[in-house]
Structure 1
Amino acid sequence: MAHESTPHFHNTEGLRSIRIGSKEFQCVGALPPFDHPHVYLDMGKDSEIVCPYCSTLYKYDSTLAPGTSEPLSAIYHSEAA
């Protein structure tokens, strides 16, 4: 159920940064089976955050809809969904 309300993003492409429309999300690293522990990140008042596992820099972009990203390929879709 948590996955339904908290967006998940990945960086399988190895991008330097990913723009996202959410300040609270989970990073999964790369796509399974090469993912890292799915870590919850909260930017709070900041507009950027670095994942402590994979070092992906996530940048908040208020022009993007919540749960979306640039590039769109960074959105993680669980196979269970």
Structure 2
Amino acid sequence: MDHAITPEVANHVLAHYGRGGYQAGSFTEQIIKAIDMADVDNRDKLAHGFPGYVAAVVAIQYDPNGVAHLKAIAAGEQVAA
């Protein structure tokens, strides 16, 4: 499974959390909301279809450097592994 966070994904997740970026379309925003609200089991299920979004949401929620990391990806300065 590819967990790479693209610049587009980083921008969408940053916008969802009010940290910059740009807003996703309505369907994608609903996916981000679902990931944001999901418990661990359901988040793992969502990761099968939306691995980059799940990785980005987990980063912004749990990594103290998550916002900076996503901003670097969004700016094309860093690539997520």
Question: Relative to total residues, which structure has the larger strand share, 1 or 2?
Answer: 1
TM-score, normalised to structure 2's length? 0.28
Relative contact order: is structure 1 or structure 2 higher (C-alpha 8 Å, sep ≥ 6)?
A: 2
